[in-house]
Amino acid sequence: MHKIVMQDTFRGRVCECPVVQGVKFVGDGYTHCEASGALRCEIKNGGCWKGTQNGRTYSACIMEALYVISLSCQDDHTKGCKCPPGFRGDGVNSCEDIDECKEKLACQCADCKCKNTWGSYDCSCSGNSLYMHEHDTCISKDAKSGFGWGLVWTIILGLAFAGVAAYAVYKYRIRRYMDSEIRAIMAQYMPLDQGEGANHVPLGNV
């Protein structure tokens, strides 16, 4: 809680929340003031929970949260606090680690080996297998390699087919263009040949 600013006005003394290090505090000005705006987490973590363990730091302060203070003074000063993924709690006083392994929230395939960590979990597979997080399953490295080569060959064959099809279309269009040019040339000269034949008189009839 930061010091409340008291101002004397023509209506009497009014209490207002201060601005500290560029961070505006909002509230009723009498009993409660909370940091707001994009920099609210810079001041005492926005009044939210924050914890560090094993070199990892998690915060429940929502950077982009803006407080909306009701005029009835029934403000919810916990609105900008939310436990990060992997934790549950009110986000203000505490955020408890969720044991994804014990609660069976992840890493539940037959070959999966789940190990809970603070704020997260580690999932591994037995034998020569890899864990696929998106599908929560274990697949063989050989199967993954075979699948990768199959995908590569599918792409190559698809590109080859597209190239052959494009070349066939190109040849077809060229042929149609050449045929149309030949017909146009013949159309220009054929009437002239017919006219010369009609004006020709055999010498024997002269």
Over the stretch 102-144, which tens digit does the pLDDT of each residue have?
A: 999 989 888 899 999 999 999 998 888 888 888 888 888 765 5
Specify the higher pLDDT residue, 16 or 52.
52
70, 79 contact by CB (below 8 A): no
Q: Residues 130, 148: one domain?
A: no
Q: Quick check: 72 pLDDT over 70?
A: no
Q: Is residue 135 part of a domain?
A: yes
Q: Residues 32, 123: one domain?
A: yes
The predicted pLDDT at position 89 comes to 96
Task: Report the number of distinct structural domains present in the chain.
Answer: 2
Q: Is residue 17 part of a domain?
A: yes
Strands (E), the chain: 5-9, 12-16, 19-20, 23-27, 33-35, 50-53, 56-59, 87-89, 95-97, 112-117, 120-125, 129-132, 137-140
Q: Residues 92, 9: one domain?
A: yes
Helix/strand number for the chain, H first, E second: 1, 13
Q: Residues 61, 149: one domain?
A: no
SS3 content of the chain, % helix, strand, coil (to 5): 35, 25, 40
Q: Residues 101, 46: one domain?
A: yes
- Of the candidate ranges 84-93, 159-168, 177-186, the one whose mean pLDDT is the lowest: 177-186
Q: Residues 161, 136: one domain?
A: no
- Of the candidate ranges 22-31, 59-68, 97-106, 155-164, the one whose mean pLDDT is the lowest: 59-68
The predicted pLDDT at position 193 comes to 52
Q: Which of 3, 90, 92 is nearest to 45 (CA)?
A: 92
The predicted pLDDT at position 166 comes to 87
- Helix runs in 125-140, H state only: none
Report in angstroms the alpha-carbon separations of 78 from 26, 40, 156: 13, 13, 56
Q: Quick check: 28 pLDDT over 70?
A: yes
Instruction: Using pLDDT thresholds of 50, 70 and 90, give the confidence band for residue 30.
Output: confident
Specify the higher pLDDT residue, 76 or 116.
116
Which residue range forms the structural domain that includes residue 50? 5-141
The predicted pLDDT at position 206 comes to 46
| Residue linked to tokens 């994804």 | 100
* Torsion angle of C-alpha atoms 72, 78, 79, 81, degrees rounded to 10: 160
Q: Residues 170, 93: one domain?
A: no
Q: Residues 103, 129: one domain?
A: yes
Q: Quick check: 101 pLDDT over 70?
A: yes
Q: Residues 182, 84: one domain?
A: no
Q: Residues 64, 23: one domain?
A: yes
pTM metric for this prediction: 0.51
Mean of all residue pLDDT scores within the chain: 76
Q: Quick check: 66 pLDDT over 60?
A: no
